[in-house]
Structure 1
Amino acid sequence: MNKVNSLTASTVPFIDLFWNQCEATPHRIAVVQEDCSWTYQDLLSQSCKIAQSLLRDGVEQGDRVGICLDRSPIAIASMLGIHLAGAAFVPLDPEYPTERLRYMLEDAEIRTLIGHAKYQPLFDAGSCDDQSVHPSAGLNWIEASDLLAIQPSPADLDRNNFPAFCGEQLAYVMYTSGSTGNPKGVLINHAALTTYCRADLDVYRLRADDRTLQFSTLTFDIAIEEIFPPLLCGSCVVVRPLERADSVNELSHLIDTHQITAVHLATAYWHQWVDLMKATDSRIPSSLRLMVVTGEKVSVDHYRRWQTICDHNVLWCNAYGPTEAT
């Protein structure tokens, strides 16, 4: 692709490129988690149902919609559905203190939230003396399991029935951890997301036969890298099971069991994994072809250890700051 065409393509909102991919490969597997397997057509249909539900509930173009969800296919469909509705998604970590979550609701001006029922008490305004000023007051809670029960209509699968928007519009807000003071939201627009995904496809040489492990929590920016670029090349996102595997080396077990080809890990976790493999005299799983270690600089000693336990060619990358880079 020449530079002019590449620049033009990078301004197309991600959701339109995803829609095109679904039309090109409707029967390829897009998302897998344990016994759940969705094709690209399934994922598009579910995303459209969510978008229509949001639009019926009054979500408008440019609104911010919160998601408080575990790693799951419905979480991925919710992100895409929010985009189809013309809104931006804001991941909310259920492990955060309640006051921090309430701050984020107010700061991001979230009035609609998609979540799992077990997390709804975190956003309950009942404990506030003056509910009229509580950020949870008037919050439209959408139960994720209810979205799965909605039956799509033919109109749900027509792109013309959803808002059109430009690359400058907001795609998502990613909050920092807030370890020192309140967390700060980083605003990412659609053009930035598309450009980032295309760079990922190029640098990491993503392929249609890849199987990328969705390992991170949704509030960590690695999750964006695990989910969005693979969906632009017709490959499969394998969502980490919620229950831990009964294995000494859980990550290697996941990679072997699901024939994972691409893994993105925070640096500290990667260091631990390398140490565990060395301690148990294990080898790098043979299916792995892409290893991205992200977040901070890696230990040179750990990289040298990695080289001693890897018997095949692996594209190994150390990456920093996908949120900042966009």
Structure 2
Amino acid sequence: MTARPGEAEPALSTRPDRTGLAMTTRPDGAGPAGCGRSGGVLDDFLSAAHVHADRPAIRAEGADLTYAELAARVTAFAAGLGAEPGVVGVPAGHHTGTVTALFGVWAAGGTYCPIDPGFPEQRRTAMARTAGCRVLIGADGRPAPGPGGPDPEAAYVLFTSGSTGVPKPVVTSHRAIATTVGSLRELFGITPHDRVLQFASLNWDTCFEEILPALTGGACLVFDADAHRGSFPRFLRMLARERITVLDLPTAFWHELVGHLHESGEALPACVRLVIIGGEAAAPGKVARWSALPAGPVQLLNTYGCTETTLITHALELTGAPDPVPIGRALPHVAEHLGEGGELLIGGPALADGYLGRPAATAERFVTVGGRRFFRTGDRVSRAADGVLTHRGRIDHEVKIRGIRVDPAEVEAHLTGHPAVRAALVTGVTVAGRTALAAYVVPRAGTSGTGLPDRIAAHLRGRVPAHLVPSHIHVVAELAYTASGKVDRRASKEMLS
């Protein structure tokens, strides 16, 4: 680590572990040398690599990578970046290289920013510019200069949907993620004997629930393509073959899995001990069917959290058939407050720093109550006497699509950017038990509505991720407007229903 102006260069000492992997530490105990501003989770990973050097850290497509081997790759990646690289954009995907990059960026003292290589180029470029990426990792794994920008001195930058049509970059500190990961290791009961499936997209924070508790707890993280092939029989065979003990699944996927188990008579392999679900509300009927399955001693954990509050903040083991299904109790590190209209506000040491370069948006959602800082979730809840919270709807128009929070206004901004669209309304609708986006567009004068939905869909696919492209696009003659000339959402929905 390079000393900052006015600081003395810290002395370093190196202690080899029993595998020969050098773990460099500071005499003041501040953590590994070369880790820059990081620590916490990175330290825990390096400690796990020291203690469990010969155990498998990652199993990818049938091959094992030990903790010592992964740590060596992390060290080499960090060396390639150089000290204090700033925000590093990483093309995150389901492979070992993404995990190496995550820890490698931290080891170099940088800030990790995943950028989905499957997103349209325009979206990727905008994300890199908005995050201020000084370095972009290419498809070959090599660093290249990025657009550059201010260094937020954080663990990572992730994006959430924004009403202006541009995604909002959430800045999360090392303290926040370290606090949460410690809580999740305890909540999940992670041990070196666990084998955790890597299922979530590497571009959303849910993946950190899989990666970080596992690799700081000596467990094995498993990548396998059969997790994503869309075949439940193959999925179940993979769980048995890889001896998976912990599954973290989107609630919508779990709903379909429960349906398959119920209809086929198949069962989860006996190796599975814990299933974690989250991202959207669990259906009471699915929970009831799950409870009736001959699943053995499998714990089902329902979870809740926001990107701005760093992964999971509430959890509850589901038994029986509660209706509605609660979102759970606050974890030990979480402070909660019920605001106006029952809105859930979340505080504590795991709160994100805010939205990078968006002071107004930060001030709107991160508020001070009683001298403490909280995030306004936008979710209405009720609290039972035992502290369990139950979701009672939204105070705004945001919806969950495939477990991802979406502000319809972001999609509307892109729709009205099409030259043939005068006005647009986007809302969530239920299709086959899932929430989907539906768009209603008013064409500009002189524009034919024939073929317009297809043209609009193509326009969106070139600009936004797939989950922001409405499943249904309807051409309508008119929408309702407020006195100021904006689309009146409530009146328009009533008019269209």
Counterpart of 1:261 (choices 239, 245, 248) is: 245
For residues 191-206 of structure 1, what are the structure 2 equivalents within 5 Å? Answer: 191-206=175-190
1:60 aligns with 2:87: no
1:215 aligns with 2:238: no
Instruction: Give 1:103's aligned residue.
Output: 126
For structure 2, the residue ranges without an aligned partner over 5 or more in a row are: 1-29, 32-37, 311-497
* CA contact 1:213–1:239 (8 Å) conserved in 2: yes
Q: Provide the C-alpha distance between the structure 1 equivalents of 2:267 and 2:131, rounded to a whole number of angstroms.
A: 45
1:93 aligns with 2:116: yes
Aligned residue for 1:170, secondary structure, equals coil
Give the counterpart letter for 1:116 in structure 2. A
Shift of 1:94: 2.0
Counterpart of 2:235 (choices 251, 255, 262) is: 251
Q: Provide the C-alpha distance between the structure 2 equivalents of 1:22 and 1:44, rounded to a whole number of angstroms.
A: 7
Shift of 1:248: 4.6
Q: Which has the higher contact order (CA 8 A, sep 6+)?
A: 1
Shift of 1:179: 8.5
Give the counterpart letter for 1:188 in structure 2. T
Q: Provide the C-alpha distance between the structure 2 equivalents of 1:232 and 1:310, rounded to a whole number of angstroms.
A: 32
Between Structure 1 and Structure 2, the one with more strand by share is 2
1:116 aligns with 2:139: yes
For structure 1, the residue ranges without an aligned partner over 5 or more in a row are: 1-7, 121-135, 141-167
Counterpart of 2:146 (choices 136, 139, 147) is: 139
Instruction: Give 1:5's aligned residue.
Output: none
Instruction: Give 1:14's aligned residue.
Output: 41
Counterpart of 2:64 (choices 37, 43, 56) is: 37
Shift of 1:116: 2.2
Instruction: Give 2:298's aligned residue.
Output: 314
Shift of 1:310: 3.5
Q: Provide the C-alpha distance between the structure 2 equivalents of 1:295 and 1:26, rounded to a whole number of angstroms.
A: 34
Aligned residue for 1:47, secondary structure, equals helix
Report which of the two structures shows the higher radius of gyration computed on alpha carbons: 2
Q: Provide the C-alpha distance between the structure 1 equivalents of 2:226 and 2:136, rounded to a whole number of angstroms.
A: 21
Aligned residue for 1:265, secondary structure, equals strand
Give the counterpart letter for 1:35 in structure 2. G
Q: TM-score, normalised by structure 2?
A: 0.51
Aligned residue for 1:116, secondary structure, equals coil
Q: How many residues align?
A: 270
Instruction: Give 2:168's aligned residue.
Output: 184
Give the counterpart letter for 2:128 in structure 1. L
* CA contact 1:48–1:81 (8 Å) conserved in 2: yes
Q: Provide the C-alpha distance between the structure 2 equivalents of 1:242 and 1:275, rounded to a whole number of angstroms.
A: 19
How large is the RMSD of aligned CA atoms in angstroms? 2.7
Q: Provide the C-alpha distance between the structure 2 equivalents of 1:271 and 1:236, rounded to a whole number of angstroms.
A: 26
Instruction: Give 1:290's aligned residue.
Output: 274
Deviations 1:19-45 (A, max 9, x none): 111111111110011133110000000
Aligned residue for 2:201, secondary structure, equals coil
Q: Provide the C-alpha distance between the structure 1 equivalents of 2:205 and 2:104, rounded to a whole number of angstroms.
A: 19
Deviations 1:222-279 (A, max 9, x none): 1011101111111100013279559553321221111100010111111111112212
Counterpart of 1:279 (choices 221, 242, 263) is: 263
Aligned residue for 1:316, secondary structure, equals strand
* CA contact 1:278–1:305 (8 Å) conserved in 2: yes
Cα gap change, 1:254/1:178 in structure 2, threshold over 3 Å: closer, same or farther? farther
Q: Provide the C-alpha distance between the structure 2 equivalents of 1:52 and 1:270, rounded to a whole number of angstroms.
A: 41
* CA contact 1:43–1:77 (8 Å) conserved in 2: yes
1:305 aligns with 2:289: yes
Aligned residue for 2:225, secondary structure, equals coil
Q: Provide the C-alpha distance between the structure 2 equivalents of 1:177 and 1:285, rounded to a whole number of angstroms.
A: 37
1:325 aligns with 2:306: no
* CA contact 2:226–2:234 (8 Å) conserved in 1: no
Q: Provide the C-alpha distance between the structure 2 equivalents of 1:179 and 1:69, rounded to a whole number of angstroms.
A: 25
Aligned residue for 2:132, secondary structure, equals coil
* CA contact 2:199–2:227 (8 Å) conserved in 1: no
Q: Which moved more, 1:197-206 or 1:242-251?
A: 242-251
Deviations 1:188-211 (A, max 9, x none): 111111111110011111111000
Q: Provide the C-alpha distance between the structure 1 equivalents of 2:92 and 2:166, rounded to a whole number of angstroms.
A: 22
* CA contact 2:128–2:146 (8 Å) conserved in 1: no
Q: Provide the C-alpha distance between the structure 1 equivalents of 2:248 and 2:230, rounded to a whole number of angstroms.
A: 22
Q: Which moved more, 1:28-37 or 1:256-265?
A: 28-37
Q: Provide the C-alpha distance between the structure 2 equivalents of 1:296 and 1:269, rounded to a whole number of angstroms.
A: 11
Q: TM-score, normalised by structure 1?
A: 0.76
Q: Provide the C-alpha distance between the structure 2 equivalents of 1:235 and 1:315, rounded to a whole number of angstroms.
A: 18
Q: Provide the C-alpha distance between the structure 1 equivalents of 2:163 and 2:254, rounded to a whole number of angstroms.
A: 22
Deviations 1:262-319 (A, max 9, x none): 0101111111111122121211221111110011221111011111224311221111
Shift of 1:178: 5.4
Counterpart of 2:77 (choices 34, 41, 50) is: 50
Q: Provide the C-alpha distance between the structure 1 equivalents of 2:195 and 2:155, rounded to a whole number of angstroms.
A: 25
Give the counterpart letter for 2:183 in structure 1. A
